[in-house]
Amino acid sequence: MDNSDNRVLVFGDFMLDPGAAELRHKGMVVPLEPQVFDLIHYFASHPARVVTRDDIIESVWHGRIVSDSAISTRINAARKALGDDGSAQRVIKTIHGRGFRFELDTDGASPEEDIGPNDEKEPLEVRYCTTPDGVSIAFAGTGEGLPLIKTASFMTHLQHDSEGVLFAHWIYELSKHYRYVRYDERGNGLSDWEIESFSFEAMVQDLETVIDTLGYERFALLGVSQGASVALEYARRYPERVGCLILYGGYAAGWQHSKDEAFKTTRNALLDLTRVTWGSDNPAGRQAYAALYIPDGTPEQHSEFMRLQQITTTPENAYRILKTFAQIDVRDILPEISVPTLVMHCRGDAPVPFEAGRTLAASIPDARLVMLEGNNHIIQKGDAGWPRFMSEIRHFMAENLGR
């Protein structure tokens, strides 16, 4: 078979890596004869297309004469490897008189990219720490290497995020290279929900408490959305501990400080809607948030975003948290930031317009700005900007923390 196409292919619970000549099922290698591997590779490279006997001979046997029984034997072996058989034909379907058709949808990725969150995922160990005001904060770390601590962002759930479609690719990719630490915001996920204060200062103290509990002396901070402001304030207070600062989709001033009255009116209307629709069975309000935050999302991603609104926090907590986000203003501290800073922002981000990222980069000394292609506030693996997002993080970490 012509192996010039070395894209890694993902279909169902399978991952096929031509470069390594491996088929994996849920992370485990499936033993295959070379011709069976080539046959599966050819089928997976041409999903939903009828493949003829001549196509198979040309691709797998390079045009040599081969018997029908040899072809049948390899197809039966391929079906068995994929959990299929000649009766069910769920994966490789016989099209009588014409050939065969591969029935699974296939996603392609370059060999340099990893495949997804299903490969040999390590168990998640959730731990707790207590803030000065008595709030229990849930946190977890995965992977090995230099510590990369993500400041909390809204609407997270440590366990669910590890398994869902919105955040699992973040966790998987970053945990491959670093000790990736994340925690649930107060009032969110597995952290305490009965909270007296949702102030910005309390959110900074949550980060301080998690870091002090872990005992890291030096690390990188990843601030996403409003978490960027929390990361900035921490870096201002403790520059000697922050090796570098990575900000994505962030802002220094919440929407209440916006000069765009139409934008402000829209966000305030959504805020008022939160108390009524958040977590309710009526999906109208939740759909509005999903459309705003992941406008290019798939139906599955929109469904999960709406599900997170139901399981991560209460309507009252959501309202109070979002109100705090709207009032954030750390613009005055930006000139004081002395740690290396990378600012990344999607060109079409609607809830946090690109101008917010540009302002951060322009106001922080020596900060670097990277504009990513895409419209989703929560960048997804299939988004145009995703490969560069991961590449920039790795290069920036290597430049500033040595790996």
Beta bridge partners of 14: 11, 25
Do 8-109 and 126-401 fold alike per CATH? no
Q: What is the pLDDT, as a whole number, of residue 263? A: 85
Contacts of 392 by beta carbon, 8 Å cutoff, 6+ apart: 342, 344, 370
Q: What is the pLDDT, as a whole number, of residue 7? A: 67
Q: What is the pLDDT, as a whole number, of residue 113? A: 41
For the chain, give every domain's residue range.
Answer: 8-109, 126-401
Contact between residue 152 and residue 185 where contact means Cβ atoms under 8 Å apart: yes
Return the ∠ at Cα 230 (arms to 228 and 232), rounded to 5°.
70
Per-residue model confidence as pLDDT tens digits over 278-299:
766 667 677 888 888 999 998 8
Ranges under pLDDT 70 in the chain: 1-8, 26-28, 105-122, 279-282, 284, 402-403
CB count in 10 Å sphere of residue 29: 11
Contact between residue 252 and residue 329 where contact means Cβ atoms under 8 Å apart: yes
Residue ranges with strand state E in 276-360: 341-346
Q: What is the pLDDT, as a whole number, of residue 309? A: 84
Q: What is the pLDDT, as a whole number, of residue 375? A: 96
Contact between residue 221 and residue 234 where contact means Cβ atoms under 8 Å apart: yes
Q: Which two tokens stand for residue 106?
A: 């296939």
CATH architecture, range 8-109: Orthogonal Bundle (1.10)
Q: What is the pLDDT, as a whole number, of residue 118? A: 47
Of the candidates 251, 270, 271, 267, the residue with the CA atom closest to the CA atom of residue 353: 251
Contact between residue 154 and residue 185 where contact means Cβ atoms under 8 Å apart: yes
Q: What is the pLDDT, as a whole number, of residue 6? A: 63
Displacement of CA 387 from its chain's centroid (Å): 11
Per-residue model confidence as pLDDT tens digits over 16-30:
878 778 887 765 678
Amino acid (1-letter code) at residue 190? L
Contacts of 351 by beta carbon, 8 Å cutoff, 6+ apart: 225, 267, 292, 293, 377
* Cα dihedral sign, 263-265-267-273: negative
**pTM, two decimal places:** 0.70
> What fold is seen in the domain 126-401?
Rossmann fold (3.40.50)
